[in-house]
Structure 1
């Protein structure tokens, strides 16, 4: 009888705190709230991760820029998704092998990772296809929140990004991390004042805590959860091979059932944690994300998302 009473008390307490987490935890006070996030500056409407893309997205009205960082041989923090330059420039070299001044220009026709049947074909102007420095981005957009993906496990890169964040007084307007828990933990240790992403390991922990009822009792240092809709993963990967199709579908369905839960997102938002979905490029995807309780959506098409949000507000 005592055991049943204890279990019942635990379940009731967990349910109450899950719905009202601020009874136990102080709500995080993130300085920005962003519905509209431009992935790589809007890779479907300009050359990804360039100053041209960032300026265009900000001009459209994006509320956050998402970008990726690597370190050149001469120690410059360069904005690029890929470490190897083959996809983006046609040159089979790593960024770490070259000085910044020797980086090639982006190809005039650039594939879009999350819209695999489309290439961005833009201006032939060299300036539009130049790799940007993180310093340039911070200088140009002092008041725009920026989401930084630290692409490789490199202590020097993390240190230099942290130094730039502090130099430009951007700790409260930047969020950083990586899928890798090791990289994300290094970011937190380097500068705990910067907003932090959940790593994949911590997302798995989040799921475990939720289904055991422990989540409401556990403090969370992260401020931003970035996840994908399962259909987006399959779209990016293209058509899976018949050999792996059943397993891949199983994994995607499992993620969909366990993680994509409005009750979880409501709990996190009540704790001041933002929930972003990436990378969504169609109106029906935008609609689903916001209906599920997303704080914001990351897209390759800033104009498309802006029009959707405008229409949604009017309706």
Structure 2
């Protein structure tokens, strides 16, 4: 990795050179490095609420996150984090809380003792929870460029001086822990940035350590929570401490080498550059990076400054360039554009009433669109079908849960000698013992089913994700498989 002089500057100059040459990034001349999970791939454009949409709600507060998802059209939440004096990973953009709250420090030099004493790293969670993180927020302006004359509609709620809006609490306007966010949004994709505090690189490394412990305790969020950092070292430390967490972003440091053909390590699911660099001229990043990200299968999520008026051309350009998502300061404005442009939710569902009703899928074994579904005729040369796996999704270490797999003969002739085996990836086998790996059945007639049960003995120290793959084979009817990913909880003490 190159020594960081100013990675953003060097990257901008390199992209500028490619732009001037009217060329994409260099051919990598190496094998592709596909992402560890496909959760973020092959989806419609994502409305990613930057800090919860800081021009529409108080930055990085639970109120901002809740309203972004419920009322302002966000598909994904973006946030930032540091570690408190007592070791809690909290969600906030700035090391100096005076920038977004009523903490002291406004107008003081960086080395002033009052300002230093009030930094996130020098206060406990209990002390930070006394602050009002909506104090400086003004609609349309956010919390930077603070002017006491501006309206501040949410000031005083965190401290109990003003009643919260219906459906919210005072805590929704205070600093939040990342674990509070995970609890509040169990099904919402998240992007968490370990902030790099340039005067002290140890800050981001400490954040990586605390965040790794949190994500190791939440293996079910391995795919839908992207862990990000502008710096490379925090990502490497996080990956070393939480190797089974699959969703990472490429750092700004690593992107510099990526543009010149090197692979990104640890392997990410997305690259997240700014939408452009103003050298001048303005250099757009997506057209240059996209050949590389398409080669490896990574998503591109970009960030920038939303125009205060008429933002639609800005959003349209990002979408047309091929970005997979945008970290927006105004999720409601991006939602309105995506709605009118006919761009549905990432999962294909309706974004708004203006869009066509959802297409009702046909049941398994049929094709077309409901209600005119027609049966799919089975291929007699591939009559074997593994339908599903059933069993406990979150078993506890030290237990021996059972899992059943449903195998069916979907052909028009009997099949004989079907073999069903349970396979666990090599890197996860230290967590389990399999008393029986394979079983066989005799003749299964057309339409008949075979429903074997496998016991999985989880070792007492097992934890985290385990993939159970069930493979069925027969000489006359081909092979098929199904899998189930379980999240092993620690053994009871």
TM-score (norm. length: structure 1): 0.75
Is 1:35 the counterpart of 2:43? The answer is no
Structure 2 match to 1:198: 250
Q: Is the 8 A contact 1:108 1:123 kept in 2?
A: yes
Q: Is the 8 A contact 2:215 2:222 kept in 1?
A: yes
Deviations 1:126-152 (A, max 9, x none): 224200110110001111111111014
Q: 1:189 offset after TM fit, Å? A: 2.1
Is 1:25 the counterpart of 2:32? The answer is yes
Is 1:109 the counterpart of 2:136? The answer is yes
Deviations 1:61-118 (A, max 9, x none): 3221100111111111110000111211242220111111111212523375798699
Deviations 1:200-224 (A, max 9, x none): 2211112222xxxxx6xx4761221
Is 1:184 the counterpart of 2:235? The answer is yes
Residues 238-253 of structure 1: pairs in structure 2 closer than 5 A: 250=279, 252-253=280-281
What's the secondary structure of 2:137's corresponding residue?
strand
Q: 1:266 to 1:62 in 2, by over 3 A?
A: farther
Is 1:99 the counterpart of 2:124? The answer is yes
Is 1:163 the counterpart of 2:237? The answer is no
Structure 1 match to 2:192: 148
TM-score (norm. length: structure 2): 0.50
Q: 1:195 offset after TM fit, Å? A: 1.6
1:226 to 262, 272, 278: 272
Q: What CA distance in whole angstroms lies between the structure 1 residues aligned with 2:151 and 2:27?
A: 44
Q: What CA distance in whole angstroms lies between the structure 2 residues aligned with 1:208 and 1:121?
A: 47
Is 1:56 the counterpart of 2:102? The answer is no
Q: Is the 8 A contact 1:47 1:120 kept in 2?
A: no
Q: Is the 8 A contact 2:100 2:143 kept in 1?
A: no
What's the secondary structure of 1:110's corresponding residue?
coil
Q: What CA distance in whole angstroms lies between the structure 2 residues aligned with 1:219 and 1:161?
A: 21
Q: What CA distance in whole angstroms lies between the structure 2 residues aligned with 1:27 and 1:97?
A: 40
Report the structure number with the largest CA radius of gyration.
2
Q: What CA distance in whole angstroms lies between the structure 2 residues aligned with 1:196 and 1:113?
A: 28
Structure 1 match to 2:302: 277
Q: 1:197 offset after TM fit, Å? A: 1.6
Q: Give structure 1 stretches of 5+ with no counterpart.
A: 1-14, 210-214, 232-248
Is 1:300 the counterpart of 2:329? The answer is yes
Worse-superposed segment, 271-280 or 24-33? 24-33
Task: Compare relative contact order (CA 8 Å, sep 6+) and give the higher one, 1 or 2.
Answer: 1
Q: Is the 8 A contact 2:55 2:142 kept in 1?
A: no
What's the secondary structure of 2:207's corresponding residue?
helix
Q: 1:288 offset after TM fit, Å? A: 1.1
Q: What CA distance in whole angstroms lies between the structure 2 residues aligned with 1:70 and 1:219?
A: 25
Number of aligned residue pairs: give it.
270
Q: Please give the root-mean-square deviation of Cα atoms over the aligned residues, in Å.
A: 3.1
> 4+ residue stretches of structure 1 with deviation over 6 A?
113-120
